[in-house]
């Protein structure tokens, strides 16, 4: 760019559209110092308190008849009622065979199952990651 062209740019009007990143720097939106600006020195050491949120205390169902015959809390709508518990014969058989205790050990699983091989893969990945971490150190 020639010197004449740069001087012509300087003579342009001052109300040009300024890119946003220049406006942020000029207007000082990103001031260092935490609380920033004029109150930075006065507010030092004081803690700003935000809006306090009170915890909602949810009611606990104590009626034993309702606890035995309904799934309490299943109705999320304002209207209606909770789902009624059905007799065991109306639920599928696999529901009663679900393992709900501690996770089974690898030795207890059947080698022909997907869960067995998933656990083997996970153990191998952990071992590989540990060995690669030791190599780097």
68 within domain boundaries: yes
130 within domain boundaries: yes
**How far is 12 from 6, CA to CA, in rounded Å?**
10
7 within domain boundaries: no
Q: Are 84 and 69 in contact (CB under 8 A)?
A: yes
22 within domain boundaries: no
The Cα-based distances of 118 to 101, 102, 107, 126 in angstroms read 19, 17, 13, 12
How many CB atoms within 10 Å of residue 96? Answer: 8
Tell me, yes or no, whether 91 and 113 share the same domain.
no
Q: Is the pTM of this model over 0.85?
A: no
Helix (H, G, I), strand (E, B) or coil at 55: coil
28 within domain boundaries: no
Q: Which domain holds residue 115?
A: 106-136
**How far is 66 from 75, CA to CA, in rounded Å?**
14
Whether 6 shows a pLDDT value over 90: the answer reads no
Give the distance from CA 127 to its chain's centroid.
29
More confident residue, 99 or 36: 99
- Which residues lie closer than 8 Å to 110 by C-beta, 6 or more apart? 116
19 within domain boundaries: no
Residue 29 confidence (pLDDT): 57
Residue 136 confidence (pLDDT): 85
78 within domain boundaries: yes
The Cα-based distances of 127 to 27, 96, 108 in angstroms read 54, 35, 21
How many CB atoms within 10 Å of residue 103? Answer: 10
Number of domains into which the chain is organized = 2
51 within domain boundaries: no
Q: What tens digit of pLDDT does each residue of 75-121 get?
A: 889 898 899 999 999 999 999 999 899 988 999 999 999 999 999 99
- Average the pLDDT over 63-68 and give the result: 93
């Amino acid at each position: 760019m020639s010197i004449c062209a740069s001087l012509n740019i300087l003579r342009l009007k001052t109300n040009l559209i300024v890119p946003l990143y220049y406006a942020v720097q000029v207007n000082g939106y990103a001031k260092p110092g935490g609380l920033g600006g004029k109150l930075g020195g006065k507010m030092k050491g004081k803690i700003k308190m935000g809006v306090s949120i009170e915890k909602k205390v949810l009611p606990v169902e104590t009626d034993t008849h309702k606890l035995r015959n309904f799934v309490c809390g299943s109705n999320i709508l304002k209207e209606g009622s909770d789902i009624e518990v059905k007799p065991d014969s109306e639920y599928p058989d696999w529901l009663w065979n679900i393992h709900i205790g501690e996770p089974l050990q690898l030795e207890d699983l059947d080698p022909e199952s997907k869960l067995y091989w998933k656990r083997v893969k996970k153990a191998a990945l952990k071992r590989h990651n540990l060995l690669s971490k030791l190599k780097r150190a």
